[in-house]
Structure 1
């Protein structure tokens, strides 16, 4: 009799424990869905140290932990689509306006409802429907060896296709979003035929087959592999402030041209952030967006990465401020995504690897 009572007591205890565990699990999931955890999951195609530093500062101030999931923009969007409501993504970050538009069209984002973001970021750097906001801008400029090149010969992107530059042009591969966006802007401004002529002219003038990132093109200029390169402005700032003396010395020998100031303007792209459609930590994610676009977050970004801030109240290095005011291309940066497939085909036909 005592054994039956004892066994019955144990069964009741186990049942009670199971119910408690189940209720606890359910409560945790409800908490996750309600966004009550002190966490934000950031799916990011920006692999920059400055981002981690800003996230750490945000965590110090709020106690909200940031979990970065890194990959290419296309991989991250595909994952968010595949996982749907089960996705852990709170935010999606990209280094390209066309990709941000692609994320919006893919249905993986929801509108950012924040008056603070609207105050922080001018409308020109936000999606008109609110699905993403810019966090920085960057210009794709021409850099040259000051001891070998007359900058007057570099008034435009088109000038690089001339005979003067045969065997002297350095640039990264066609798979780079920066180059894809640049060529897409030419398609939007001049049509596919003129864009193809430009790509073919650049290929004819390659100093070597495309390789490496933008900084590698600078090092190749220093090594006299070529004389001129296409690169983003912030890499110049990073090299001019580098602890690597080899990078610093190479950057000091560069001249910089913002091309097409008398015609269509210099190409500009953005880094931006969108709120995931099924964000389990939506409230925390909005707090992070507001911090990233606020004056303090923007100042950190400009001072550490040398990108142009989108918030006019942000501080920045004086030399970076001196670069502002150049004429920009009159194109819809996000809308350039519609030309990406054409750009890819043009690159392939031109032999731009």
Structure 2
């Protein structure tokens, strides 16, 4: 009798527990959980689905490969097209077809086959000294190779993902021969060996080591919010260069559904939420990026940096050019 009673009791507990366990989604992210908290909290509040975030500084592809079909990851979130494309190229994702995603994400910012979807964008721009660089003195990426900038440019490593993406865009617009010549010109104009991150280049302008640097837009917001770095930010202004015949180079924060995805339905709900105007504006304001959903607006601080014309090339096309771009960077010994 006792044994017969316990079996239904356990079954009932299991039936109650299983739906609760299923109401979650697991996210592998290159971005820290605290930066995602405004988004994940809003999603949980709206849907009741808990979000578990695992922060990976690198090695996402290797980890997903090692876990294989047993991976707990439902979604991956990256802060660069090259990184999300690597996950896709290694056959670690599955396509998502969704009218909501199609409506929220412009064609230039998602994979044509639905393997990755953009969330927010940032421009790769020029930080220019307010004191030593006149308005209009630099207007294009091509300008960076002009000898007038000799000894005046700071940048991080040429092989960093952000710069490889920029070189891939240059390659798309101008071809291999012109890209190599341009990179040689930029290298000749460097004030110091490539080093540090994007903020370190702005510090170099503030300290007088260089007059212009290459960086992502959101670092301006990050520096202004840091008492130790605000003085660096105040010493520069943002310039939105364009390619000749194109626009300003853009990159993305993007999301993809993993091949394993144990909570697939919840994961797709989260993807749709992340691309919604509400979530786009939360994310863009928290991280000083540009929302991409139609009808959305950047934060007031981001608006204050000015307007620009984004380059319209699909980022998948640029990701495919990344190996060739990296080869050209290494061939000119950019970091040497």
Which bracket does the TM-score occupy, shorter chain normalised? 0.7 to 0.9
Q: 1:248 aligns with which of 226, 230, 243?
A: 230
Residues 28, 77 of structure 2: 8 Å contact kept: yes
Aligned partner of residue 245 in structure 2, secondary structure = coil
Note if 1:138 corresponds to 2:134: no
Residues 82, 161 of structure 2: 8 Å contact kept: no
Note if 1:304 corresponds to 2:289: no
Q: 2:70 aligns with which of 48, 62, 86?
A: 86
Q: Give the C-alpha shift of residue 330 in structure 1.
A: 4.2
Note if 1:199 corresponds to 2:183: yes
Note if 1:69 corresponds to 2:61: no
Q: Give the C-alpha shift of residue 158 in structure 1.
A: 2.0
Greater alpha carbon shift after TM alignment, 45-54 vs 174-183: 45-54
Q: Give the C-alpha shift of residue 278 in structure 1.
A: 1.4
Cα deviation 1:294-314 (Å, max 9, x = unaligned):
122111112111111011233
Q: Give the C-alpha shift of residue 233 in structure 1.
A: 1.1
Look up the match of 2:24.
Answer: 39
Query: Between Structure 1 and Structure 2, how many residues are aligned?
Result: 333
Q: Give the C-alpha shift of residue 82 in structure 1.
A: 3.2
Q: 1:295 aligns with which of 259, 270, 277?
A: 277
> After TM superposition, where is structure 1 displaced by more than 4 Å over at least 4 residues in a row?
322-325
Look up the match of 1:187.
Answer: 171
Cα deviation 1:198-255 (Å, max 9, x = unaligned):
2222222222222221111111111111110001111113323x1x333222212212
Residues 142, 243 of structure 2: 8 Å contact kept: no
How many Å separate the matches in 1 of 2:247 and 2:33?
28
Aligned partner of residue 152 in structure 1, secondary structure = coil
If you compute each CA radius of gyration, which structure gives the higher value, 1 or 2? 1
How many Å separate the matches in 2 of 1:192 and 1:105?
23
- TM value normalised by structure 2: 0.88
Aligned partner of residue 256 in structure 2, secondary structure = strand
Residues 108, 314 of structure 2: 8 Å contact kept: no
In structure 2, do the counterparts of structure 1 residues 267 and 44 end up closer, same or farther at CA, with 3 Å as the change threshold?
A: same
Residues 98, 335 of structure 1: 8 Å contact kept: no
In structure 2, do the counterparts of structure 1 residues 212 and 47 end up closer, same or farther at CA, with 3 Å as the change threshold?
A: farther
Unpaired runs of at least 5, structure 1: 1-11
Greater alpha carbon shift after TM alignment, 167-176 vs 330-339: 330-339
Look up the match of 1:219.
Answer: 203
Look up the match of 2:36.
Answer: 51
Q: 1:337 aligns with which of 295, 315, 319?
A: 319
Q: Give the C-alpha shift of residue 262 in structure 1.
A: 5.5
Residues 100, 334 of structure 1: 8 Å contact kept: no
How many Å separate the matches in 2 of 1:57 and 1:23?
33
Residues 141, 243 of structure 2: 8 Å contact kept: no
The 5 Å alignment of 1:254-269 reads 254-260=236-242, 263-269=245-251
- TM value normalised by structure 1: 0.84
Greater alpha carbon shift after TM alignment, 315-324 vs 337-346: 315-324
Look up the match of 1:107.
Answer: 91
Residues 98, 337 of structure 1: 8 Å contact kept: yes
Aligned partner of residue 124 in structure 2, secondary structure = strand
Unpaired runs of at least 5, structure 2: none
Cα deviation 1:303-327 (Å, max 9, x = unaligned):
1111110112334323534657523
Q: Give the C-alpha shift of residue 264 in structure 1.
A: 2.8
Look up the match of 1:6.
Answer: none
Look up the match of 1:274.
Answer: 256
RMSD: 3.0
In structure 2, do the counterparts of structure 1 residues 328 and 313 end up closer, same or farther at CA, with 3 Å as the change threshold?
A: closer
